[in-house]
A and B are shown apart, each in its own frame.
Chain A
């Protein structure tokens, strides 16, 4: 479903991704961990071309994104993204946040978009907040709206970049619960997270990124309980 071949990304002279080969199958949930600056966000953002890779290839659902002929707006519809800081549209209500792209990009009628939007808000447990503005919602609620907004485009893949790390601890659970539901429904997910509990319970695989490379990968059990690499061990001992 997602595949990268020798993915390299430089910012000027800084080499952030140094040739990443990675394959994520349909329905798989992959968590990525790694120190700050190791390139986790950059990698995720290359998967929907929010960052243009310097070289290498990215395939989503069989389409090569790095091919200049590809309509990037079409491919982005297949990949939903959830950001650390939510990035909800502050001038729109929760429902409008969810329905904006379906209306403007998919050209759904207002009625269809509304139905889809309300169903998704119900799914993330926020039916009663449809007409609230982001500033009137808690962090956890905002992030759930952001997930609903991404789902509204009916993506095949969901990318999460530290979706809970700017939340107060008591709100982390409600967001993770929504993500677990998604995983259970078979969504293909790439998640940058340091929530080890979530990774253990939900992830099929964990990747450890170090200085722009996948240093180690394995099942959560393998990575968390018996990491092979010294660096993985050092990193885990710092965050656990």
Chain B
């Protein structure tokens, strides 16, 4: 108990990092998801293929592996390329490329949540009755106008609850980034434990902090859902 109280401030600093990473990543994920979701619904085969490949890749591979590929794999690729340029064309090398860990964490989580959010948006748009698009088009609106003024405003309302769930899932999944050394809540706990060697109180405290955050947000989502229904 003493240990829990003693480490709480440090863990809360980690929780703040976790929360910040989640908010930033899910926000960027929403933008990516909107475009990728619309790409999957597009008439163009190429756009559809791009959207599908993206969604399949990021939903079909573990977040940990995605993090390893991006944080370690991509710098290697860039540096090897630089070496090749230097050797073949005598172009001077730039500095050795290294990912800023925040940038890598945001990139991985945004791309990952973007894939799930793309599916949420796609389902949201598809859940709008066909008659809405037909009515809009019959009034002379273009496809883009119909999407913008008729379909998307209705779809946005319907995707708020699943977006909330995605936020909660992402909040927990950011713990995976501890494996690449990103110091969020879980990594903080591990570091403290390396020092104090008291795994039970340390990790259970970390767990309770996660629980407090996820419960708060799931209540918030429930409340929003109820409000949207009564509207």
Interface residues in chain A, defined as those with a beta carbon under 8 Å from any beta carbon in chain B: 48, 50, 73-74, 76-77, 79-81, 83, 85, 87-91, 100-101, 104-105, 146, 149-150, 152-153
Contacts and interface: CB of A to CB of B under 8 A. Distances in A.
Nearest to B156: A91
Nearest to A96: B149
A104 B145 contact: yes
B2 interface: no
B137 interface: yes
A90 B154 CA distance: 8
A87 B132 contact: yes
A85 B137 contact: no
B131 to A, nearest CB: 4
A101 B140 contact: yes
Interface of B: 129, 131-132, 134-142, 145, 149-150, 153-154, 157
Closest 9 CB pairs of A and B: A77-B140, A101-B139, A87-B131, A87-B135, A81-B138, A76-B140, A105-B140, A73-B140, A91-B153
Nearest to A133: B231
Q: Which of A73, A85, A149, A150 has the most CB of B within 10 A?
A: A73
A87 B132 CA distance: 6
Q: Which of A73, A74, A79, A87 has the most CB of B within 10 A?
A: A87
Nearest to B151: A89
Nearest to A101: B139
B122 to A, nearest CB: 20
B149 A87 contact: no
A152 B137 CA distance: 14
Contacts of A83: 131, 134-135
Contacts of A152: 139
Contacts of A89: 132, 135-136, 150, 154
A105 B141 contact: yes
Nearest to B148: A104
B31 to A, nearest CB: 22
A73 B139 CA distance: 8
A153 B141 CA distance: 11
